[in-house]
Structure 1
Amino acid sequence: MSQQRNTILITGASSGLGQGMAREFAAQGKNLCLCARRLDRLEQLKQELQSEHRNITVSIKTLDVNQHDDVFRVFQEFKQELGTIDRFIINAGMGKGAAIGTGYFKANKATAETNFVAALAQCEAAMEILREQEAGHLVTISSMSAFRGLPRAMTVYAATKAGLASLTEGIRADLLKTYGSNSPIKVSTIFPGYIRSEINEKVKNTPFMIDTKTGCRLLAKAINKEPVIAYVPRWPWALMAFLMKRLPLKWVLKLS
């Protein structure tokens, strides 16, 4: 059974899964700390959430997660403003890129920096607060693509999501060494399957794709259980994870 998490911080909250999760947690009566690059979208979202859920507090701040000093500053400002942050959802990311060696190094580099180095900064900033509180929940949003190397535009994206999953497990391992199995700080890695969002809006004819609202409802439900890992939605992605780890690469490519 999960702890009561009344205040939730979500990065990349101005669009896509971050925005959708903010709506889900607002409907559950949670106070929200929302950050992203696009302040205008955050302001619209705040107005929407507070008009529909008058009993919650919504704090917003501009944040480019690639400005690492700003990550630490913004997280601390949220904590000072709301007192305690019970859950951090490390969600900000991007999906630019192309096959390695085809002239798109800058795009691949941008994805690598945003999805891994910036995620490291977010985890560092979050864990400083959680260690100080000795309580809370760290959540990272990885991807089903993390389980194998994938071609073309997915190559660097998949590698970053694998790195993020490994980083998250390492944080959990460190907490196990410190606190044992009863750690007051919970850590979860979430592996979404195909959920429609701005990052994949141009992708067509994808099997098992679900709409944004359904996907975010299932994400929030999974996160509230505070699992070590979760596949969202569980069907068919729990089975797909099992297969992707074990099948020859040429077969995995037919599944992906």
Structure 2
Amino acid sequence: MGRLQGKTVFITGASSGIGEASARQFAKEGCNLVLTARRLEKLEQLKADISKSHLNIFIHAVKLDVRDKKQIDTVVTELPAQVKDVDVLVNNAGMVIGTDPLIDVKEAVVDQMLATNIKGLVFLTQAIVPRMKERETGHVINIGSIAGKQAYAGGSIYCATKFAVDAITKALAIELVDTPIRVSQICPGMVNTEFSTVRFQGDKEKADNVYKGLQPLVADDIAELIVFTAGRPAHVNIADMLVFPVNQADSKTVYRRPE
């Protein structure tokens, strides 16, 4: 029996990409799952798929827009008894829109990124960590980014949101240092998921061009590290992890094979 067997894992943004891959890999460890995202039909498909090969775990799929604090509080309050006590919170939901310079970024785009990437993470943490403190056990894993370590042109607001995630994660770890609750951050570099297609408003060709000439990370690569982080012994906390594909050195330095 592994360390994660029987644990309850709450994942935001579970309908695709890193969130979906994490759900599948936590299921392999025997974890019960709370799967949340805005696209309920995708979550139901994922639940059905996982359930076929993992009959002994409990899966709760529920629609959730992390920008809505009332919705977050309702979802957490109404969790079924089997997953009421969350052992691992994976704050994965996040998004970026466009590559416009700062002076051209629209207000609605700013609001959407701030609400999703920062406020959603904060509100989920506020909803779940108090019960972790009561139980004296728990783990918060925030999905950051190289964009939260190094800013770049065309990413001003997105970088700002991920710098905020970095700061929030570090502050929370300090605030919980006298508890058994672990706080971790995993910061990917270039990962080829639906995330990039959203950035370019559905233009798959533009999204794919970002990774032309190199082998990027994929969702499973990051999911594996999330599960690894969650599965360390209780006295071990992986505080911060920066992950690149082998041909990336920082936010803008990459080697692309000539065609």
Q: CA RMSD in A?
A: 2.4
| Correspondence for 1:200 among 186, 196, 221 | 196
Report the alpha carbon displacement of residue 122 of structure 1 after superposing the two structures with TM.
Answer: 1.3
Q: Which consecutive residues of structure 1, in runs of 5 or more, have no partner in the other structure? A: 245-251
Alpha-carbon distance in structure 1 between the residues aligned to 2:50 and 2:105: 43
Quote the residue 2:204 is aligned against.
Answer: none
Contact 1:79 1:85 in 2 (8 A): no
For residues 153-168 of structure 1, the aligned pairs below 5 Å read 154-168=155-169
- Native 8 Å contact 1:222 1:230 kept in 2: no
Moved more, 20-29 or 215-224: 215-224
User: Against the structure 1 CA distance between its residues 228 and 115, is the aligned structure 2 distance closer, same or farther, given a 3 Å change threshold?
Assistant: same
Give the drift of 1:230. Answer: 1.5
- Alignment correspondent of 2:184: 188
Asked if residue 32 in structure 1 is aligned to residue 33 in structure 2, the reply is yes
Structure 1 length-normalised TM: 0.84
Report SS of the residue matched to 1:50. Answer: helix
Corresponding residue of 1:11? 12
Superposition map of 1:230-241 within 5 A? 230-232=241-243, 240=249
Find the aligned partners of 2:124 and 2:38 in 1 and give their Cα distance: 15
Task: Determine the C-alpha separation between the residues in 1 that align with 2:173 and 2:85.
Answer: 21
Q: Does 1:224 align with 2:231?
A: yes
CA distance in 2, matches of 1:219, 1:83: 21
Moved over 4 A (4+): 2-5, 233-237, 252-256
Residues 1:21 and 1:228: Cα distance change in structure 2 (over 3 Å):
same
> What is the CA–CA distance in structure 2 between the aligned matches of 1:63 and 1:205, rounded to whole Å?
30
Counterpart of 1:144 (choices 140, 143, 146) is: 146
Aligned residues of 1:89 and 1:139 also touching (Cα < 8 A): yes
Amino acid across the alignment from 2:176: L
Equivalent pairs counted in the alignment come to 237
- Taking the aligned partners of 1:192 and 1:198, their CA distance within structure 2 comes to 15
Q: What is the CA–CA distance in structure 2 between the aligned matches of 1:31 and 1:140, rounded to whole Å? A: 19
Deviates more, 1:34-43 or 1:104-113: 104-113
Give the match for residue 117 of structure 1. Answer: 119
Amino acid at match of 1:232: V
